[in-house]
Amino acid sequence: MMRLSLPALAASLAVLLSACGHAPGYPGNPPQRPDDVSTFAALYSENCEACHGQNGQNGPAIDLGNPEFQAHIDNTSLRKWIASGMPGTQMPAFAQSAGGTLTDQQVDALVAGMRKAWSSPNAFGGATPPAYAPSQPGDPHRGQQTYNARCAMCHEPSHQQITSSAYLQLVSDQVLRDIIIAGRPDIGQPDWRHDSLGGKLASPLSAEDVDDIVAYLGTLRNPAPAVAGLAPSAPSGR
């Protein structure tokens, strides 16, 4: 039987121990737990980018990277929509407390990250926009008139047809309001100050105008709702 000297035995043990950390299936660095992800870039990429686009722009959902939108929405509302979702849209709840996957700290990190990345001082250039939420219901009849005069000329093409019930069923009144007021610069949608009238720059939309246009668009979401349980009458045979 071969006998190993003490130095040789120590060397052999050192080799074996060093190899343990690299054995097949043994992770050198254990993967990060989902609850431990804390950077804004990682959280946004994993949870928001698919709908809101890279850098908050050019996605199917609202332009989060728009400084005017960031200036218009307060922290409480922004956090609420992330945590609890937005009714009337495809925006789900992300907070664990509401059935999602993110901790309260991760929701806070998303809010803080958006503010840091996309907020801009004096985003409205000294102008005062209409309030984030309406103070009273709008008038759909007046809204139709205002829409026809101030909006229809740009939204008549099919690719800009926001009066489609299929589109309106995917967005809430608040989202419509956000887009009308803050605009969507990523797709060329102007804010409330820069709507045109007959090809000429018009005065800004008033708060009442915004309320009324949103109310009018709301009436188009389901203009002919189906009545459950009713079917066409069968021929009587007479």
Per-residue pLDDT of the chain (238 residues; tens, 9 = 90+): 445 555 554 555 454 444 444 445 545 555 556 677 889 999 999 999 999 999 999 999 999 999 999 999 999 999 999 999 999 999 999 999 999 999 999 999 999 999 999 999 999 999 999 999 998 999 999 999 999 999 988 887 666 678 989 899 999 999 999 999 999 999 989 999 986 555 555 789 999 999 999 999 999 998 665 554 444 444 444 3
Comparing C-alpha atoms, which of 168, 178, 67, 87 is closest to residue 130? 178
In angstroms, rounded to a whole number, what is the distance separating the alpha carbons of residues 156 and 147?
11
Architecture of domain 35-118: Orthogonal Bundle (1.10)
Domain ranges of the chain: 35-118, 140-219
DSSP at 88: T
What CATH class is the domain 140-219? Answer: mainly alpha
DSSP at 58: S
The two most distant CA atoms of the chain are separated, in Å, by 111
Give yes or no on whether 35-118 and 140-219 have one common fold: yes
Is pTM beyond 0.85? Reply is: no
